[in-house]
């Protein structure tokens, strides 16, 4: 069984910053992709950012230049630094693990998920 646990969400004013963390435990992975998705009320879960085992990064167009994903492989931990936050970034943010090592942009390709952390950006 794999456990994925997110932390770091909260309430912030527009223009502010938050840092999300995600730790995966319970199994050793040799080549995993870790990704962040978000889901706003009434909307589908959408890709935000992903990072490969070697550090290659991928972003949704809506967050490029504002969000930065990074990882600590020794700890199986990934981070999402979110700057210049906008009200439209408000959502539940989910961390996910893709154990095949391939970057995918759709949620159905990811194997393990956290329970999510709420990010609310006030205007």
Residue 73 in contact with residue 88, Cβ under 8 Å?
Answer: no
Task: Give pLDDT, residue 30.
Answer: 55
Flag whether pLDDT at 17 surpasses 80.
yes
Alpha-carbon span 52 to 73, nearest angstrom: 10
| Gap between the Cα atoms of 108 and 35, Å rounded | 12
Average pLDDT over residues 29-38: 84
pLDDT at position 29 is 58
Q: If you average pLDDT over every residue of the chain, what do you get?
A: 93
Read off the pLDDT band of 112 (50, 70, 90).
very high
């Amino acid at each position: 069984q794999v456990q994925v646990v997110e932390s770091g969400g909260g309430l912030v004013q527009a223009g502010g910053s938050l840092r999300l963390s995600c730790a995966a435990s319970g199994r050793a992975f040799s080549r995993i992709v870790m990704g962040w998705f978000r889901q706003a009320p009434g909307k589908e879960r959408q890709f935000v950012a992903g990072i490969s085992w070697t550090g290659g990064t991928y972003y949704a167009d809506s967050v490029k230049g504002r969000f930065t994903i990074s990882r600590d492989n020794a700890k199986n931990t990934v981070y999402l630094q979110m700057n210049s936050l906008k009200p439209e970034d408000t959502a539940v943010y989910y961390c996910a693990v893709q154990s095949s090592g391939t970057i995918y942009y759709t949620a159905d390709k990811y194997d393990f998920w956290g329970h999510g952390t709420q990010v609310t950006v006030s205007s």
